[in-house]
Amino acid sequence: MKLDIIAQIVQILKDAPEVGAIEIRRGLFGAWSSVRVSKAGHGTNASGGHVLVTQAPTIPQSSSAPRGMGTGEAPPAGPQLLEIKSPMVGTFYQSPEPAAQPYVKVGSRVNVGQVVCIIEAMKIMNEIESEVGGVVREVTAQSAQPVEFGQVLFRVDPHG
């Protein structure tokens, strides 16, 4: 593995305190066979080669005023949606291949651990698994377009 790639991985770990570990496996002839990223304090999954996705942080409410009152924020209009965010920089793919159906779309029910998309990073296809269950209400990324670390990919209604 080249030193610049190792430096990039170390920088990702420094910039993202929620990332606990990055595991890279090499296959035959030096080709990379999988990349696994796990959140700090969480074990990696047993299926191998999958990336865990972060959940939107919860915002504590003040006991002195209802949420949105006196802060300039409007109260939430609908159900609280959980966000599935990109754990890395790369290219977002909604399906395993161009002609295939997307893993999930608006209205699809997702379960914890279900693959929801692929992000290609450094020529490696990383399957992204949901850490939330519910109904997909919004797909915010477009297939074959670049995504940033922490960018919202999906919004999921946990009560749907």
132-157 per-position pLDDT tens digit: 999 999 999 999 999 999 999 999 99
Task: Show me where the domains of the chain are located.
Answer: 3-57+79-157
Query: CA 66, 60, 65 angle in degrees (round to 5)?
Result: 20
For the domain made up of 3-57+79-157, the CATH class stated in words is mainly beta
Residue 23 has pLDDT above 50, yes or no: yes
Residue 34 has pLDDT above 50, yes or no: yes
This prediction's pTM: 0.54
Q: Which pLDDT value is given to residue 120?
A: 93
Least confident of 40-44, 52-56, 71-75, 89-93: 52-56
C-alpha span between 117 and 85 (Å, rounded) = 11
Structure confidence at residue 54 as a pLDDT band (50, 70, 90): very low
Contacts of 15 by beta carbon, 8 Å cutoff, 6+ apart:
149
* Coil vs helix vs strand at 139: strand
Query: CA 55, 110, 88 angle in degrees (round to 5)?
Result: 40
Average pLDDT, integer, range 39-60: 42
Furthest CA-CA distance within the chain:
62
